[in-house]
A and B are shown apart, each in its own frame.
Chain A
Amino acid sequence: DSGVTQTPKHLITATGQRVTLRCSPRSGDLSVYWYQQSLDQGLQFLIQYYNGEERAKGNILERFSAQQFPDLHSELNLSSLELGDSALYFCASRGESHGANVLTFGAGSRLTVL
């Protein structure tokens, strides 16, 4: 158990729908990162938060949005889903202490869009 919790583990939905993926970081970690892993695109950085504030955006579509709440959990919202959005979505958190500063990943949420 990495300490990063992601729910749900699996999600099957239809095109055009909207889903929300949730992530709880490791205790004490202030930063949350979202990544998308698909067979043809590899591991793509989506967005980064630090203590509730957005810090960086990667290849995140306009149909996708995220936020980090005061209790530091984060949610990734995916709307108007398309078949191509089927992928594994990973959340990772980052420790702040010197010598840490690595990403710790959750087990992922597998999204299937039919």
Chain B
Amino acid sequence: AQSVTQLGSHVSVSEGALVLLRCNYSSSVPPYLFWYVQYPNQGLQLLLKYTSAATLVKGINGFEAEFKKSETSFHLTKPSAHMSDAAEYFCAVRRAGNQFYFGTGTSLTVIP
């Protein structure tokens, strides 16, 4: 079955530093992958999605993710962290039957 694993439940970066949040998937077929962000006391918002059209996917707020089949990874990056990026980030996969399963989440802290 398709699933996703997020490595690191907590990540801290300095303001202006590179953000790298890791997600690995397990799938025997090309997956549909997503990153969502959850700000405090809010619902989840879609950051970006991979649907096999391009391996490098650009999302909102300067985030992007690269699909690497050889590494079964879909890591989320942002060149320069901003204080407003502090949030919980979830990687997700869409399975057959349009079922969506989420990783355990990574809490990003941005240090001024």
A11 within 8 A of B: no
Quick check: A55 and B94 within 8 Å, CB to CB?
no
Report B-chain residues with C-beta under 8 Å of the C-beta of A55: 97-98
Q: Mark A17-49, 1 if CB is under 8 A from B, else 0.
A: 000000000000001010100000011010010
Quick check: A105 and B99 within 8 Å, CB to CB?
no
Interface size class of B (residues with CB under 8 A): 20 to 34
Quick check: A56 and B101 within 8 Å, CB to CB?
no
Report B-chain residues with C-beta under 8 Å of the C-beta of A106: 43
Residues of chain A having any CB pair with chain B under 8 Å: 2, 4, 31, 33, 35, 42-43, 45, 48, 50, 55-56, 58, 90, 92, 94, 99, 101-108
**A99–B46 alpha-carbon span in the complex (Å):** 13
Q: Which DSSP category, helix, strand, loop or mixed, fits chain B's interface?
A: strand
Told that A99-B51, A101-B32 touch, could you supply 7 new A-B pairs with CB distance under 8 A? A2-B43, A2-B45, A42-B105, A45-B102, A101-B94, A103-B44, A107-B43
Quick check: A102 and B34 within 8 Å, CB to CB?
yes
Quick check: B43 and A45 within 8 Å, CB to CB?
no
